[in-house]
Amino acid sequence: MHLAGKRRATERCARYALLIVCSLLVLVSSGCQKTESVEARSGQYLGQDPPGLQPEVFAPGLISHGFHELSPAFSPKGDEAFYVTSDRRGNYTIIHVTNDGDGWGEPEIASFSGRYPDASPCFSADGNKLHFCSRRPVSGGSAPEEDFDIWIVEKKDDSWSEPYNLGSPINDERDVRDVTVSENGTVYFSANRKNGSILDLYVSRIEDGKYTAPETIGGDISTDFNESGPHVAADERYLLFQSNRPGGFGGNDLYICFRQADGPWSEPVNLGATVNSASHDYRPRVTPDGKYLFFTSGRPADSGSMERTTYEELLKSYRHPQSGYGTLFWMEAGIIDEFRPEESM
């Protein structure tokens, strides 16, 4: 019995030692994987290889999953980003990802989002404010509002404040969405007309410390079709937007107009077949450094054969970028200059 007891004790010690070794190997392996992951995301724009003159899916498997990703907003310092993801019922959620100096972390739901439909994040020029659109209740109650308003959060050290409503005259009884802000604080947004559902582009400037009453952006920009999803350059020299007006490639297309030397906007021009597709193309954004154009597109990937040998392969064919729902693309922003008229700013 004594020998049998010693043998059992020896076996227990051996098993315990093996458990310790295996645990250490797991920890070392996890550490290596994390280091590799961080190193892979240590550069600008989540460490992704820069695109060229053709649109490419942005950060597939990390940001772009085929779940309808859109409206990326990168901080002026390039160390923080917000974007939107949603389901097919319009439940928009703002996602936050940061770079702490050692690399980009994992995407997380923004501290102020996740309960109500939130969309269209947009940094101020100094990076200390973030405008976004939300259906959260304005005063009391817990039910979401019928329409979107513009809200703001402010940077407090390394965190963001509680949201506050931008208020009138910009927010009113209309559906106010797709906000973009110039360097001097001018707010551009899309909203439905007061007597209908057609979306138009509006602008409100700051005068004597207050926002002016919103006005439609006139000229050839406003039509009897939808114009929405604006993005204005920091110096307001160009304006990108989406529209379903006739003459496009299908669905919503992206258009651009430029501020002319005498003040008005130039006639909008379709960004062409390099950018637009037969599917919906929308929510343009240009990075603060002016290098890259982002947009979301419903264009599907080449599915090839429809044959799926297993259920897992079938699900995989649905759960990937360009699955037919919105996917985030990016490309060099130099294409903008190709459309600039000579008489523009």
| Alpha-carbon span 132 to 279, nearest angstrom | 26
Q: SS3 for 332?
A: strand
Mean pLDDT of 322-342: 90
Which pLDDT band, with edges at 50, 70 and 90, does 66 fall under?
Answer: confident
User: Model pTM?
Assistant: 0.84
The residue with greater pLDDT, 195 or 293, is 293
Structure tokens at 72: 């990326």
Instruction: Tell me what pLDDT residue 245 has.
Output: 95
Which pLDDT band, with edges at 50, 70 and 90, does 309 fall under?
Answer: confident
pLDDT at 306 over 80: no
pLDDT at 287 over 80: yes
Tens digits of residue pLDDT in 199-243 = 999 999 999 999 999 999 988 898 999 999 999 999 999 999 999
Instruction: Tell me what pLDDT residue 24 has.
Output: 29
| Alpha-carbon span 79 to 44, nearest angstrom | 8
Which pLDDT band, with edges at 50, 70 and 90, does 91 fall under?
Answer: confident
On whether the CB atoms of residues 267 and 220 are closer than 8 A, the answer is yes
Structure tokens at 329: 């693309």
| Alpha-carbon span 52 to 291, nearest angstrom | 11
| Alpha-carbon span 64 to 59, nearest angstrom | 6
Instruction: Tell me what pLDDT residue 20 has.
Output: 31
Q: What is the DSSP letter of 301?
A: P
Instruction: Tell me what pLDDT residue 23 has.
Output: 37
Tens digits of residue pLDDT in 126-185 = 999 999 999 999 987 788 998 999 999 999 888 999 999 999 999 988 899 899 999 999
Instruction: Tell me what pLDDT residue 37 has.
Output: 45
pLDDT at 16 over 80: no
Please write down the HEC assignment for all residues of 216-278: ECCCCCCCCCCEEEEEECCCCCEEEEEECCCCCCCCCEEEEEEEECCCCECCCEECCCCCCCC
Instruction: Tell me what pLDDT residue 293 has.
Output: 98
C-alpha angle 83-245-329 in degrees, rounded to nearest 5:
30
Instruction: Tell me what pLDDT residue 304 has.
Output: 55
In DSSP terms, 25 is beta-bridged to none
Instruction: Tell me what pLDDT residue 342 has.
Output: 76
Instruction: Tell me what pLDDT residue 345 has.
Output: 64
Structure tokens at 199: 């979306």
pLDDT at 29 over 70: no
The residue with greater pLDDT, 120 or 11, is 120
Instruction: Tell me what pLDDT residue 102 has.
Output: 86
Closest CA to 78 of 292, 343, 225, 241: 292
Domains of the chain, CATH where assigned:
41-339 (2.120.10.30)
Average per-residue pLDDT for the chain = 85
Q: What is the DSSP string of 180-203?
A: EE-TT--EEEEEE-TTSS-EEEEE
Q: SS3 for 213?
A: coil
